[in-house]
């Protein structure tokens, strides 16, 4: 099985991709990681991408497709995998489907974790973590709040904020994400491949829904 993972910022993508990996052995392929990996490896395409980023330019669709294809060819594709951060717009959907076709694959499901902007904003602004054990908490959401005040449950030290986001920057990122990926979501909905999950619930409930709908549990 292969999935495309679509989730607005703060929808919990990191949490669910980790759980799918731990419980069901999914390979998690992130477009951002692929870019960083190729730059670090100093491959031909990695050096090209590094120059593009240094100039502050966007990585175009052809180069993104090349990066994705290069990565997929290094993997054992009999293991289920989920791709996140790609494809984000319709041109990339067409590129990705062509890449998969060459590998005798097609997109099986598109997992869309839906959250509204306000829920996402609360999650972002409440993010804190323990400076010692690195455990994450959220002071603005009941199920991830520390038990006592602003202290780590285990280490009993003061938690520190770990968001780089302001309200404005989060809202901008959210709006861009939604407008960019909307056509992709609608495309896969029309193909009957979209799985839409309410991401505003607590992570345990949401993950159970994901398991059920993917038929993996």
Site residues, Zn ion (CB under 5 A) = 130, 132-133, 152, 154-155
- Closest approach, Cβ 27 to Zn ion, in A, equals 30
- Closest approach, Cβ 200 to Zn ion, in A, equals 27
Q: Which is nearer to Zn ion, 105 or 151 (by Cβ)? A: 151
Q: Which is nearer to Zn ion, 53 or 133 (by Cβ)? A: 133
Q: Which is nearer to Zn ion, 82 or 130 (by Cβ)? A: 130
- Closest approach, Cβ 80 to Zn ion, in A, equals 33
- Closest approach, Cβ 154 to Zn ion, in A, equals 5
- Closest approach, Cβ 133 to Zn ion, in A, equals 3
Query: What is the length of the chain?
Result: 217
Query: SS3 for the chain, per residue?
Result: CEEEEECCCCCCHHHHHHHHHHHHCCEEEEHHHHHHHHHHHCCHHHHHHHHHHHCCCCCCHHHHHHHHHHHHHCCCCCCCEEEECCCCCHHHHHHHHHHHHHCCCCCCEEEEEECCHHHHHHHHHCEEECCCCCCEEECCCHHHCCCCCCECCCCCCECEECCCCCHHHHHHHHHHHHHHHHHHHHHHHHCCCEEEEECCCCHHHHHHHHHHHHCCC
Q: Which is nearer to Zn ion, 75 or 133 (by Cβ)? A: 133
Q: Which is nearer to Zn ion, 4 or 130 (by Cβ)? A: 130
């Amino acid at each position: 099985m292969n999935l495309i993972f679509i989730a607005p910022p703060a929808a919990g993508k990191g949490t669910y991709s980790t759980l799918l990996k731990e419980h069901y052995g999914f390979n998690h392929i992130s477009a951002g990681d692929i870019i960083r990996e190729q730059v670090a490896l100093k491959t031909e395409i990695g050096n090209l991408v590094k120059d593009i980023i240094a100039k502050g330019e966007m990585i175009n669709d052809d180069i993104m497709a090349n990066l994705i294809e290069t990565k997929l060819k290094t993997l054992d594709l009999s293991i289920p995998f989920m791709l996140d951060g790609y494809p984000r717009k319709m041109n990339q959907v067409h590129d990705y489907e062509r890449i998969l076709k060459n590998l005798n694959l097609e997109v099986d499901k598109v997992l869309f974790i839906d959250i509204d902007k306000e829920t996402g904003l609360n999650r972002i602004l409440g993010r804190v973590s323990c400076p010692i054990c690195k455990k994450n908490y959220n002071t603005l959401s009941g199920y991830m709040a520390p038990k006592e005040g602003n202290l780590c449950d285990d280490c009993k030290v003061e938690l520190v904020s770990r968001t780089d986001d302001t309200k404005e920057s989060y809202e901008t990122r959210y709006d861009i994400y939604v407008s960019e990926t909307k056509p992709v979501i609608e495309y896969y909905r029309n193909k009957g491949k979209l799985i839409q999950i309410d991401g505003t619930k607590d992570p345990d409930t949401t993950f159970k829904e994901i398991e059920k709908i993917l038929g993996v549990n």
